[in-house]
Structure formats: structure tokens, C-alpha cells
Amino acid sequence: MNVVAAELPPVKWSRTRWLTLIALVFIAHVGFIFAFGERKQIVPRIVTNVPKLQFANDAGTGLALNDPTLFAAPNPKDFASVVWLQAPVVQPPSFRWTEPPRWLELSASELGMAFHQFMQTNRFANFQIEFKPPPQLSAPALPVEPALAPASTLQIEGEFAQRRLLGEINLPSLPYNDVPAPSVVQVLVDAPGNVVSTVLLPSDNSLEAAAHYDAADQRALELARAARFAPSSRLTVGQLIFNWRTVAPPATNSAASP
């Protein structure tokens, strides 16, 4: 009678079973190491036949001659080491005074002799003290100048001050009740001597700016354009300053008869 055994299915291990098996194997391996391992102290091996570095003896004459600082720096074996290696013994000075005091002799006849010799070598001139000196009267010399200029004047400043003015500019007296400020005109003159450009410059002073007279400024511009100068090799720039003299304007309305 033949009995056929039924085939059993394969059994699969779980993750916990595998981890337990690995831990047991690791613990067994460590136990074998501690049980059968050799515990001997490591002894270093003696090294033989190895090249060594040894400093040469400084007593050798040849080694001393190869020193580059043999004659430049002090050397403990040169001829002067005996002197500079030995510090000199300095004895501190004694400040104790042991000599007994000696009094200086004073002669009564020599009292005031030094002052007498000084007065003999330094003589002063005699002078008389005047407690009330006479007064010195002096009158100040003040030049008498007219309050107003006798006529209008022209002043030239700048580069063309050295150039000669061709022709004479007749400056009239302006009919005005006040004294106007000077009219300053900047002039550009070409090489032949003709006036190319004229610009009336404003005054930096507020009082002079308030005292400007428009008719005087226009007259200054007309006279500046008509001016002619001596020829030159280049353009020149300068200023013409017109100082005006004013006269009283004529009366326009006659007084009514009483």
C-alpha cells in the first residue's frame, strides 16, 4: 500500500524573525572574538641603521669662518669680548658733606662797592623834567575839494586800458535833481578797434542800484558804441565807467503873478 504525502506549502519568515537571527549571529561573533582573541601589548620595534642629524661642534675654525656675521656682529670669541662682556663697576657718588662750615668774612669798607662800580660804568645823561610842557599847536592840512565834479568824467578799466582811445568823447552834464550812480558798461573791442558788444552792468551795491538814472545809462550805452580804439592783435574786453555831473533842470511852469 503506497501512501502519497501531500506537498506542504513553503513557510515564509517574518521581518522580526530575520532581525532576531541576525542579532544572535552578531552576538555569537563578538563572543568568539573576546574568547579566542589574543591580548598582548604592542611593543615598538627597535629601528636600526637609520641616518641621524647631528650638529657640528662650534669649536671648529672652519665652521666659524663660514659665518657671514663673523666681522659684522659681536662674537664671544673675538679680541674685544673680554672688554664688552665685563660690565664696568660704577661707584655711586656720596652726597654726604663732611667739611665743617666756613663763614665768609665781610668787610664794612666793601659794602656797596659793587653798586658803586656799576654806577661808574653806567652813566646816565642828565635831563630836566618838565611837568607842564608847552602845548604844540598844529593845524590840520585839509585839501579843499569841490563837493561836485566840474564835469562828467570817463574811466577806462580792463584789458583795453592800454589801448589808445581814438577821438574825444564829450560827456554832457545831465539835467537831474539828484546825483546818479556811475554807469558801468562792459565793452568788447575787436582787433581793428571797433566796439562789437556793449552790456550795461548792474551795481552790487543796493544804494547805487536805487540811484541809477535810466537816461544816464542809455546815454552811456550810446557813447560806448560810438567809441573807437587803437588797433590790436586780438579781441579785448574792458569796462567804461561814466561818472555823471548833474545840473538843475529848467523850470517848466512859471510862477503865477501876485
Q: How far apart are CA 215 and CA 175, in angstroms?
A: 10
Q: How many CB atoms sit inside 10 A of residue 228's CB? A: 14
According to the model, what pLDDT value does residue 147 have?
54
According to the model, what pLDDT value does residue 27 have?
92
Q: What is the CATH code for 156-247?
A: 3.30.2420
The answer, yes or no, to whether residue 143 has pLDDT greater than 60, is no
pLDDT tier for residue 6 given thresholds of 50, 70 and 90: low
pTM for the predicted model, two decimal places: 0.40
According to the model, what pLDDT value does residue 200 have?
82
* Average of per-residue pLDDT values in the chain: 75
The answer, yes or no, to whether residue 132 has pLDDT greater than 60, is yes
Q: For residue 194, what is the DSSP state?
A: B
CA angle 188, 192, 196 (to 5 degrees): 30
What nine digits make up the cell of 92? 655711586
The dihedral built from the CA positions of residue 147, 150, 151 and 155, taken in this order, carries a sign that is negative
According to the model, what pLDDT value does residue 3 have?
47
Which value, in Å, is the radius of gyration of the alpha carbons in the chain?
62
For the stretch 31-50, pLDDT in tens is: 888 887 767 777 888 878 88
- Of residues 171 and 257, the one with the higher pLDDT is 171
Q: How many CB atoms sit inside 10 A of residue 62's CB? A: 7
pLDDT tier for residue 4 given thresholds of 50, 70 and 90: very low
Taking residues 127-141, report their average pLDDT.
70
Residue among 158, 173, 147 nearest 243 (CA):
173
Q: How far apart are CA 179 and CA 148, in angstroms?
A: 9
Q: For residue 108, what is the DSSP state?
A: G
With 0-12 / 13-18 / 19 or more C-beta atoms within 10 angstroms meaning exposed / middle / buried, residue 174 is middle
* 3-class secondary-structure state, position 96: coil
Domain residues of the chain, as ranges?
156-247
For the stretch 67-83, pLDDT in tens is: 777 777 777 777 777 77
